[in-house]
Structure 1
Amino acid sequence: MTDLIPVGAIAGAYGVRGELRIKSYCAVPEDIESYSPLWTEGRAKQISLAILRPIKNGFSARIPDVASKEEADAMRGTVLYAERGQLPSLPDDEFYYADLIGVEVYDTGGALLGRVKTVNNHGADDLLELQLAGKTDTVFLPFTKAAVPTVDLAAGRIVADPPLGILPDIQTPESTAD
């Protein structure tokens, strides 16, 4: 497990005076400010974030060393991380996305499907992007109780029951014969 958890991202400038547009990944979006100081990738830079006001799809915020629109735009795409110890503990059936990355995924019969590459949410349900075992292909698996009945982080294992059509068809020599 990593000690830094992504809690938001800088979406670019807001206005011309160095304010930033912040997208929060937190269950209570305003909580991102309470985890300040935040970090950039690999603890490269510590950031003290102050939310100014809610705006469409996030917040307007200030960072002390950003004073212009250009400086704010240069930070677009920067992911903001909080230390794990700052975050609330989760119930047994909830997980920080960062903890799922790299975990092996098995089907209900025990066959290795692959590893979790990323966890995405594009506005609907969460999706696990799986790097298929022994392949360069990836597939998206709905992260629901039906499709992913078991997550055992202590054992480093996820059990999945993928809906039909999610996994690519496996071609066997018999199925390709004319």
Structure 2
Amino acid sequence: MKKIISQTLRGCLVSALFLAVTVGSVTAVPKPKSPSQPKPQPQKVSYPVAPVFSAVDLKGKVVGSAQLAGKAYIVNFFASWCPPCRAEIPDMVILQNQYGRKGFTFIGVAVNETEPKIRDFIARNKISYPVVMADDQLVSAFNRYVEGGIHAIPTSFVVNSSGKMTQVITGARSKADFEAFIIDALKKQ
């Protein structure tokens, strides 16, 4: 009887030791780090004119290329459910307040959103610039400026005060990046 218990105990210990070594070797092996994704560089462009567009913002005001003539602006395609979009919004609000009186504005284009949800998002984030709902006409006006069309958000289009599109930016940007784009767009070119 003692022999059976001793053999069973020995078998359990061997199994436990095998399991410990196996688990230890699997967890001790460092996982290869995925290469960090470089931030896509803004695409410098120079089109004679920015896209012609017109939309009604969520306050009922018409926002479009005709109303923005002579102003510098950045059209930012975004969504409230997009983490990179949400990350850049506070900086955009600060910059809108800083440069709004100098002839600049952001225009937010809400993609794949419901109006009530985006209204709540605007209020929670204290967005002071115009926000419009994306529609086929608006998307198609900007799609031709991006190879393959707009395929990621956030995507921003920088238009200078002379009405020329100067940059197409895919991916979130820092406050410093946006400020540099704004200062450049405000220069008469």
**Is the structural similarity TM-score above 0.5?**
no
Larger Rg over CA atoms? 2
- Tell me the TM-score normalized by structure 1: 0.22
Q: Which has the higher contact order (CA 8 A, sep 6+)?
A: 2
- Tell me the TM-score normalized by structure 2: 0.22
Comparing both structures, which one devotes a greater share of its residues to strand? 1
